[in-house]
């Protein structure tokens, strides 16, 4: 501290940074700055733009607009991960970027171009082991192990320790994206203490976390993001958890109009649950059931389990939210993509009837208001929202009584969302059962019943008028359970 106060303290500063992915505006002119020795918390619900901001700072994603300065040097368009490293920017990514086929020393070497020549392995090993000891004393990680042989928590520790290692390029700004998501209690406490120690040495840390207590414990300042914009900057001192939840939960669109209870039909899904641990999950014909919770608390996995269990011919249809990997057939037209789930019913003798197939596709393009100039266009030529409408149509056009929605509104614009919500309500009124996982809580306003998942279990059930943004946020952080 004494040393750094003598000199100008280096600053990392982004001004009016903007970034869009297709129609989705991930960042809308965001300002962000951090000074050496600072610890800044970055909070916000899923999809608020935290990861995009981080990726821009790390050089992984280029910004569309805005100024970027590190230590007074203007950063141009040729910014890259290599350049970010040279400026001392380090990043612990959520999906972890260790190479699983390499050991600890080797993974450390990947980050440091200068670790080469005779004895590099020893130096890299000492570097990572020293840092591991410093951050997580008694970590117990086998020093020669390959990353693939480590547990998730151990991998996370290694990646964190690696980010703080210094060679001729010292770490100056370290971004930690959900660093504690798989760490235990003890390791988490160790990490938080270390972040403070590093700050005293002049290393700035940016901590992104859903665990608000950690943020409040360790950070000097907290930045709250909603929908690609910073909605609050506060000193952490004196700030309460409730204040942060309040800032995040203020979503401008009010939650649903009065949730009218529909008359429920036959039960479509019923899991037994575990008393005291997990609620039984039930879904009936005509009901829209939501799965909510923070990223990675098991709601998506549960949705898939239920789908494959209900799977069978015609029993259940699925709308994937990860369009690129799990929904779209990229070589196919709108028509083919839409009808694939219904081809057995569209046969005329042995072959699929061209006429009936096209009638179905046109019909649904109209009903879903898909913006296209023809059903023979490649599906991938449409905008994300329109692609998603086609995937919805694929499921809705079947006669499946249960439809699973796997966060299907990810990256879809507001107008489309409203149209699709309307469709879902209509279809439910007609007797379909929907099971809907969404990462954005306001979508849950469309559900009759919402199960909130915490640590891989459905711990809270909200029904009818209980379904409010505040209640869901509360429950996602494990505030009230087994209601």
Partner 1 sequence: MQSHSIRQSPWLFGFIGAAVLFVATIIVSRGGGASATFHAAMAFSIFSVLVAISQMLVITSGPGNIDLSVPAVLTLCAYIGMGVMHGSNAWIPVGLLVVAAVGLLAGAFNYAAILLLRLPPIIATLASSFVFQSLAMNAGGDATIKPPSLLSAFTSLSVGPVSVLAVLVVLLTIGLAIGLKRSLFGRRLLATGQSEAAARFAGIRTRQVRLISYAGAGLFSGLAGFLLAGFTGGAALNMGDTYLMESIAVVVLGGTSVAGGQANAIGIWGSALFFNLLTIMLNSFRTPVGLRYLLTGAIIILIVTAATRPLTRT
Partner 2 sequence: MSEVVRPPPSVGIGKKRQPARRAGHRMNPDHLQLALPFIALVVMLVVIFAIRPAAFSYFGFGLLFNLAVPLILASMAQMLVICLGDIDLSVGNFVGFVTCVVAVFLRDKPFIAMLLLAAGIVAYAAVGVLIQLRSLPSIIVTLGMSFVWLGLALLILPSPGGTAPDWLTATMALQTPWIPLPLVIAVALAAAGHWLLKRSAYGVVLLGAGANPRAAARAGWSLLQARIMMYGTAGGLAVLSGLALSGLTTSGDPNIAPTYTLLGVGAVILGGGSFTGGLVSPVGTVVGAMTLSLAGSLLSFLNVPPVWQVGAQGVILFLVLAGRVFIGRSGR
**Rounded-to-integer distance, Cα 411 and Cα 391, Å:** 14
Q: Determine which residue in the list 132, 317, 458, 462 makes contact with partner 1, applying CB under 8 A.
A: 317
Q: Which two tokens stand for residue 415?
A: 């107008």
Select 332 or 421, whichever has its Cβ closest to partner 1.
332
129's contact among partner 2, partner 1, none, with CB below 5 to 8 A by partner kind, is: none
CB of 79 to partner 2, least distance (A): 12
CB of 341 to partner 1, least distance (A): 5
- Interface region with partner 1, contact rule CB under 8 A, candidates 81-89, 261-269, 284-292, 374-382: 374-382
Select 35 or 269, whichever has its Cβ closest to partner 1.
269
Q: How many CB atoms lie within 10 A of CB 447?
A: 26
- Which residues between 58 and 97 bind partner 2 (CB under 8 A)? 58, 60, 80-85, 91, 93, 95, 97
- ∠ CA(136), CA(141), CA(143), 5° rounding? 115
Determine if 156 is a binding residue for partner 2 (CB under 8 A): no
Determine if 197 is a binding residue for partner 1 (CB under 8 A): no
**Rounded-to-integer distance, Cα 57 and Cα 75, Å:** 10
DSSP state of 261: P
Determine if 142 is a binding residue for partner 2 (CB under 8 A): yes
Determine if 326 is a binding residue for partner 1 (CB under 8 A): yes
98's contact among partner 2, partner 1, none, with CB below 5 to 8 A by partner kind, is: partner 2
Cβ-based burial of 258 (10 A; exposed 0-12, middle 13-18, buried ≥19): exposed
Asked if 313 and 401 touch (Cβ cutoff 8 Å), the reply is no
User: From the DSSP assignment, how many helices (H) and strands (E) are in the chain?
Assistant: 16, 20
Select 394 or 461, whichever has its Cβ closest to partner 1.
394
- Which residues between 341 and 370 bind partner 1 (CB under 8 A)? 341, 343-344, 347, 350-352, 354
Select 313 or 366, whichever has its Cβ closest to partner 1.
313
Determine if 152 is a binding residue for partner 2 (CB under 8 A): yes
CA within 13 Å, CB half, 1: 7
Determine if 116 is a binding residue for partner 2 (CB under 8 A): yes
Determine if 483 is a binding residue for partner 2 (CB under 8 A): no
Q: Determine which residue in the list 1, 16, 65, 99 makes contact with partner 2, applying CB under 8 A.
A: 99
Determine if 150 is a binding residue for partner 2 (CB under 8 A): yes
Q: Determine which residue in the list 320, 361, 397, 475 makes contact with partner 1, applying CB under 8 A.
A: 320
170's contact among partner 1, partner 2, none, with CB below 5 to 8 A by partner kind, is: none
**Rounded-to-integer distance, Cα 18 and Cα 63, Å:** 6
**Rounded-to-integer distance, Cα 378 and Cα 149, Å:** 43
For 259-373, where are the E strands, in sequence order? 267-270, 282-284, 288-293, 316-320, 347-348, 351-352
**C-alpha closest to that of 99 among 139, 153, 158, 57:** 158
Asked if 93 and 178 touch (Cβ cutoff 8 Å), the reply is no
Q: How many CB atoms lie within 10 A of CB 3?
A: 8
**Rounded-to-integer distance, Cα 436 and Cα 451, Å:** 10
**Rounded-to-integer distance, Cα 37 and Cα 198, Å:** 7
Question: Applying CB under 8 A, which residues contact partner 2?
Answer: 58, 60, 80-85, 91, 93, 95, 97-102, 106-107, 109-111, 113, 115-117, 120-121, 142, 144-146, 148-152, 154, 277, 295-296, 298, 300-301, 304, 325-326, 455-456
Question: Applying CB under 8 A, which residues contact partner 1?
Answer: 307, 311, 313-314, 316-318, 320, 324-333, 336, 340-341, 343-344, 347, 350-352, 354, 376-378, 380-381, 394
């Amino acid at each position: 501290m004494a040393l750094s106060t003598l000199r100008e303290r280096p600053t990392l500063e982004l001004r009016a940074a903007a970034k869009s992915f297709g129609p989705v505006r991930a960042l809308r002119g965001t300002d962000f700055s951090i000074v050496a020795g600072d610890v800044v918390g970055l909070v916000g619900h899923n999809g608020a733009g935290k990861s995009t901001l981080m990726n821009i700072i790390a050089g992984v994603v280029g910004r569309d607009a805005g100024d970027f300065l590190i230590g007074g040097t203007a950063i141009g368009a040729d910014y890259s991960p290599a350049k970010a490293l040279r400026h001392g920017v380090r990043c612990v990514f959520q999906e972890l970027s260790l190479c699983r086929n390499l050991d600890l020393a080797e993974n450390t070497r990947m980050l440091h171009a200068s670790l080469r020549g005779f004895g590099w392995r020893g130096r890299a090993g000492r570097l990572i082991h020293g840092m591991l000891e410093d951050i997580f004393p008694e970590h117990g990680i086998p020093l020669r192990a390959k990353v693939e042989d480590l547990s998730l928590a151990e991998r996370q520790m290694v990646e964190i320790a690696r980010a703080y290692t210094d060679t001729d390029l010292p770490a100056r700004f370290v971004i930690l994206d959900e660093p504690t998501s798989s760490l235990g209690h003890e390791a988490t406490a160790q990490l938080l203490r270390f972040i403070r120690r590093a700050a005293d040495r002049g290393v700035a840390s940016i901590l992104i976390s859903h665990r608000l207590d950690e943020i409040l414990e360790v950070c000097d300042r907290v930045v709250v993001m909603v929908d690609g914009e910073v909605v609050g900057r506060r000193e952490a001192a004196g700030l309460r958890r409730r204040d942060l939840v309040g800032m995040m939960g203020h979503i401008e669109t009010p939650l649903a109009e009065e949730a009218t209870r529909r008359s429920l039909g036959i039960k479509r899904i019923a899991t037994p649950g575990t008393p005291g641990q997990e609620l039984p999950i039930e879904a009936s014909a005509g009901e829209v059931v939501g799965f909510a919770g923070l990223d990675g608390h098991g709601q998506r996995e549960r949705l898939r389990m239920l789908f494959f269990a209900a799977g069978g011919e015609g029993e259940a249809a699925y709308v994937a939210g990860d369009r690129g990997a799990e929904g779209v057939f990229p070589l196919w037209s709108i028509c083919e993509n839409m009808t694939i789930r219904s081809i057995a019913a569209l046969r005329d003798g042995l072959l699929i009837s061209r006429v009936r197939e096209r009638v179905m596709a046109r019909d649904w393009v109209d009903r879903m208001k898909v913006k296209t100039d023809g059903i023979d266009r490649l599906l991938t030529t449409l905008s994300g929202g329109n692609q998603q409408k086609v995937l919805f149509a694929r499921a809705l056009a079947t006669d499946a009584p249960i439809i699973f929605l796997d966060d299907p509104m990810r990256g879809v614009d507001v107008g489309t969302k409203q149209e699709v919500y309307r469709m879902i309500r209509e279809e439910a009124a007609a007797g379909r059962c929907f099971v809907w996982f969404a990462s954005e809580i306001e979508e849950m306003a469309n559900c009759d019943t919402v199960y909130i998942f915490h640590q891989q279990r459905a711990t809270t059930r909200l029904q009818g008028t209980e379904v409010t943004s505040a209640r869901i946020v509360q429950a996602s952080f494990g505030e009230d359970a087994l209601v």
